[in-house]
Amino acid sequence: MTATATPGEIAKFDALAADWWDPRGPMAPLHAMNPLRCGWVARHLAPAHGGNPGHLAGATVLDVGCGAGLAAEGLARLGARVTGLDAAPAAIAAARAHAAAEGLDIDYRQGMPEDLSAEGARFDAVMALEVIEHVADRGAFLRALAGLTRPGGTVFLSTLNRTARSWLFAKAGAEYVLRLLPRGTHDWKMFVSPAELGAEARRAGLRVAAISGMVPQGAPNGPWRESRDVAVNYIVALARD
C-alpha cells in the first residue's frame, strides 16, 4: 500500500458505495454540503476561466477521493472537464453508473494520486473534499496533489478542524447522538487545524489563497452556508505558484 491510503479507510468507504447517492442515507451530510462546496470551488476557479462560476468550460479538474461522484458531477454540470479518482473500486463503479445515467462525461479512475502523478497528469484544479482527514500521510498526500496541479493552478481541500467543538459536533454528535454518519467514519485525532494544514501545504509548494468555514443551517442535513467560523468544517484554496 502506498503512503496516502490505508486498506481500512478504502474498505470503509467502498462498503457505502450502494448508498452513496441516497440523499437520506449515510452520505446525507455530504449531499447537504455539496452545493456549498461546489459553488465555493467554482467561484474561486472562475477568474482564471472566463470569470463566470456557472460556466467553467475549458477548466480541467481532478477530484481526488471522489467516492461515487457527488462533487465531480457538481463541477461537470458547470462545464468543467472532470477526472474522478478513488481507490475504492465499488465507489468508482457507482460513480460511473450514475454519471452515465445522468448523461455526464466524467473520466473516473481507480487509484491514488501518487499513481496518477507518476503518469505526468496535470490539472487546472485538484479537489480533495472531506479526504485529507482520512489519509495516512498528509505531507505525502499534499505533495502528490501539488504535483498534479499545473503552475498557477489551485488545490481545493475541505476538512475538519481538530477542536473540542469538532469532537462534540462532528464526532460524538454526528456519529453517536444524531447518527447522521456511520459510527467510525472519523478519527478525531486525524482532524487538522488550518494552521497545521497551512504549514504542511507550504512544505508541499502550496500557499493558502482563501479559506472559509462551512456551517449547517437549521435542521440536521439541511443546507449549509459559508461562514467565518472554521472551528468545525472548513474549505481552503491552496495556490501553486
Asked whether residue 195 is assigned to any structural domain, the reply reads yes
* Residue 45 assigned ligand-binding role: no
Distance, in Å, from the CA atom of 61 to the CA atom of 153, rounded to the nearest integer, reads 10
pLDDT, residue 99, reads 98
Asked whether residue 120 is assigned to any structural domain, the reply reads yes
* Residue 103 assigned ligand-binding role: no
Domain span holding position 184:
7-239
- Cβ-based neighbours of 40, under 8 Å, separated by 6 or more: 156, 212, 226, 235
CATH number, domain of 137, equals 3.40.50.150
pTM given for the model: 0.92
Asked whether residue 156 is assigned to any structural domain, the reply reads yes
Overall domain count for the chain: 1
Asked whether residue 58 is assigned to any structural domain, the reply reads yes
- DSSP H helices in the chain: 7-14, 28-45, 70-76, 89-102, 113-118, 138-147, 164-166, 194-203
pLDDT higher than threshold 70 for residue 168: yes
* Residue 65 assigned ligand-binding role: yes
Asked whether residue 15 is assigned to any structural domain, the reply reads yes
* Residue 129 assigned ligand-binding role: yes
pLDDT, residue 138, reads 94
Asked whether residue 123 is assigned to any structural domain, the reply reads yes
Exposure class string for 218-228: b at 16+ Cβ within 10 A, else e: eeebeebeebe
pLDDT digits (tens, 9 = 90+) for 123-150: 999 999 999 998 989 999 999 999 999 9
Distance, in Å, from the CA atom of 241 to the CA atom of 238, rounded to the nearest integer, reads 10
Asked whether residue 1 is assigned to any structural domain, the reply reads no
Asked whether residue 2 is assigned to any structural domain, the reply reads no
